[in-house]
Amino acid sequence: MGPTGVGKTELAKALASYMFNTEEALVRIDMSEYMEKHSVSRLVGAPPGYVGYEEGGQLTETVRRRPYAVILFDEIEKAHSDVFNIFLQVLDDGRVTDSQGRTVSFTNTVIIMTSNVGSQYILDTDDNLPKEVANETIKRRVMDAARSVFRPEFMNRVDEYIVFQPLDRDQINSIVGLQLGRVQQRLADRKIKLLVTDAAVEFLGTLGYDPNYGARPVTAFANGHLPQQKLVFKRLETSEDKAAAESRAFSQTV
């Protein structure tokens, strides 16, 4: 639970990669697509005689074919109340029956649900409070907000609640470093070595930092600028091309 861009989905990806050796083991279901009552059939399959009956449900068919997976229900507060009935069955019994009468087991899956409920309490934290006190206050307020939105029988079936704090500048810079590392790898495949200075990392972190949107602006900014010809390329007399990226590549003022 927490505001957008703080790493909830990235955690699910990392867990899938760690447990099943591939991010493809992550099954992400956007609950904003399940806001209507009839959308329940998309999870477990359309009833007999309806279009799409033979295709199976988005949830049940995926788990039936890949029983070892991390299932991510993204922004669950947006789902219709009837969809939560499916959640209750999965969380309680570890299985659900699809529209074709087949029992699909979830015993080998890890289920993660994300929510933005209570995010305003996280973003409005008093910076003058000691960190431990602030964290306890935030979690209490977020859980109170969750109880006002989700039914008790649903809350009781969740094993653990994790509240994500807003990212600070050091964490943002670390994320910039990760993004740059991915760009470096792509360039390395083309025999180009990208050298990035600390000033460039700091500059990207400054331009992309927004406490309300977390790391999303950083990712968009880095991906939008680095692959373009806004880098300072210095060709060196070596067997490989080396590209030195400095902060002045993005602004004349740095």
Per-position DSSP letters for the chain, written without gaps between them? --STTSSHHHHHHHHHHHHHSSGGGEEEEEGGG--SGGGHHHHH-PPTTSTTGGG--HHHHHHHH--SEEEEEESGGGS-HHHHHHHHHHHHHSEEE-TTS-EEE-TTEEEEE---TTHHHHHT--TTS-HHHHHHHHHHHHHHHHHHHS-HHHHTT-S---PPPPP-HHHHHHHHHHHHHHHHHHHHTTTEEEEE-HHHHHHHHHHH-BTTTBTHHHHHHHHHHTTTTTS-B---SSSSEEEEE-GGGT-TT-
What's the pLDDT at 137?
A: 86
pLDDT over threshold 60, residue 250: no
Are residue 28 and residue 125 in the same domain, yes or no? Answer: yes
Same domain, 22 and 88: yes
Domain match, 236 and 184 both? yes
What is the model's pLDDT at position 252? 41
Residue 30 is predicted with a pLDDT of: 94
* Average pLDDT of the segment spanning 46-52: 71
Within a domain: 50: yes
Residue 12 CB: number of other CB atoms within 10 A?
23
Task: Report the mean per-residue pLDDT for the chain.
Answer: 81
Together in a domain, 134 and 57: yes
Domain count, the chain: 2
In a domain, 42, yes or no: yes
Structure tokens at 9: 């989905």
Q: Domain residues for 22? A: 8-155
pLDDT tens string 98-144 = 888 899 999 999 999 999 998 888 877 766 777 777 888 888 999 99
Is residue 219's pLDDT more than 80? Answer: no
Same domain, 150 and 187: no
Mean pLDDT of 71-89: 92
**Last residue of one domain, picked from the residues 155, 188, 216:** 155
Q: Tell me which of 155, 181, 197 is where a domain ends.
A: 155
Tell me phi and psi for residue 34, to 5 degrees: -125, 45
Rounded CA separation 18/26 (Å): 11
> Where does the pLDDT of residue 236 fall: very low under 50, low under 70, confident under 90, or very high at 90 and above?
very low
**Span 160-184, pLDDT tens digits:** 999 988 887 888 888 888 888 888 8
Q: What is the pLDDT of residue 129?
A: 72
Among the ranges 94-103, 190-199, 225-234, which has the highest mean pLDDT value?
A: 94-103
Single residue among 155, 186, 211 that ends a domain in this structure: 155
pLDDT of residue 237: 42
Residues 191 and 239 both lie in one domain: yes
Percent of the chain with pLDDT over 90: 36
Q: Are 113 and 239 found together in one domain?
A: no
Model confidence at 228: pLDDT above 80: no
